[in-house]
Chains A and B, each alone.
Chain A
Amino acid sequence: MNLSMPLLVLTALGAVTVYLMLPRAKPSLVKVGGLLGALTLAGLFAYLASLFAHNNTEVSLPVYFYLFAGIAIASAIGVICHPKPVYSALYFVLLSLAGAGLYVLLLAEFVAVVLIIIYAGAILVTYVFVIMLASQEVGGRRAAEYDRFAADPLPAVFVGFLLIGTVLLATFPKPGESLVQVNNPDTKMVAYLENKYAAAGELMPAPQSGVLPTLPTAGMAQATTATANTVPGNIQVLGNSLYGKYLFSVELAGILLTISLVGAVMIARKRTAGVSVDSERTAPLNQ
């Protein structure tokens, strides 16, 4: 069977779905789009499941993956298609919660928690604040005119799904190729790690399911080599990476956040009537 044919059909169906669901004058098409979207998503997941049906290596739990991925994609469509901005922001909160679920499945617990705290907790709350601050309720329950109609939906959807079609066709193997050789690299990776540990003269910790194996620390942190027989946890591995190899970048990120905070305050602060910024700045010099 030609592997790329279902992908092309699914991409086209997805494009039609998004086109139908974008805000427009006739809201009746949204329900059709929603139905078509559910079918497309089910088809995509069925296709993905069928590709690896023969493979029984358990990497993460399939049911939860499909659940979280379905919620994530559905709420992403909600973000770009809902005519009211507040609902879009709330759909984004749902998206980041589903994304956190996917990260937990990928053994990235710290990133998952950080995503919930920073995205759902801080950034999205700021968005909701600004949306409420900057929305005028002109006609009662109706959304603003510029939110009710999408600008140029046809070319945008065409370009977007051309991109995703190309990416999917390039990512998935060609019809003749076997999927097995690009599968889960567990065994290959363990051999690679054994070589690395042997080169560094360290004892490789026994692989455990549910914990990321790590590269040898090579004298970076004595604490981890002292407990060579216990596997460091995922968060410990991430901490070693952040505060060992990327310490300078962490400091740079802190400086970036401080600068943007100062810049945001400078942009958004209220200017007092009659006193311009320039006269305020030069005032001490005049005295």
Chain B
Amino acid sequence: MGSIELYHYLVVGAVLFVLGLIGFMVRRNLILMFLCTELMFQGVALNFVAFSRYHFNPQGQSFVIFLLAVAAAEASLALGLVVYLYKNKATLDTEAWSQLQG
């Protein structure tokens, strides 16, 4: 089966990131769009940990801890906003908020 190298993890991280990107562009549900940004975070975090392993350096793992903190802060604020918007219009459709601009 061969051995597992850095490439393997980089490929998985890239696939996760791109799937999150596609989901962010495609889904019309506000909550799911934020869930897709978390998916992109996961891809990036996997890259960080893989590089940390292959360079024998704990900084990648430290960065993932900070990334988790930022993700938690983002999730709490985003979900608060979503709940607030839902109270106003009773829909999660992004189209419903398209005249929010300007």
Binding site for B on A (CB under 8 A): 14, 18, 22, 44, 48-63, 65-66, 69, 72-73, 76-77, 79-80, 85, 88-89, 92, 95-96, 99, 102-103, 105-108, 110-111, 114-115, 118-119, 122-123, 126-127, 130-131, 133-136, 144-147, 149-153, 155-157, 159-161, 163-164, 167-168, 171-172, 182-185, 189, 193, 212-215, 234, 237-238, 240-242, 245-246, 249, 253, 256-257, 259-261, 263-265, 267-268
Contact = CB atoms under 8 A, between A and B. Distances in A.
Interface string B19-30: 111110111110
A79 B76 contact: no
Using C-beta atoms within 8 Å of the partner chain, give the interface range for chain B: 35 or more
12 contacts: A49-B1, A58-B3, A65-B4, A85-B29, A95-B39, A102-B9, A122-B72, A157-B26, A249-B66, A256-B69, A263-B76, A268-B79
Q: Nearest 10 CB-CB pairs, A to B? A: A80-B23, A260-B73, A156-B25, A264-B80, A146-B93, A52-B2, A267-B80, A160-B22, A268-B80, A241-B58
B84 to A, nearest CB: 5
A172 B7 contact: yes
Contacts of A14: 15
Contact of B4 (A62, A123, A259, A263): A62
Contacts of B4: 52, 59-62, 65, 105
B6 to A, nearest CB: 8
Nearest to A135: B92
Nearest to B86: A134
A92 B39 contact: yes
Interface of B: 1-12, 14-16, 18-23, 25-29, 31-32, 34-36, 38-39, 42, 45-46, 49-50, 52-59, 61-62, 64-66, 68-77, 79-84, 86, 90-95
Secondary structure call for the B interface: helix
B59 A76 contact: no
Nearest to B91: A146
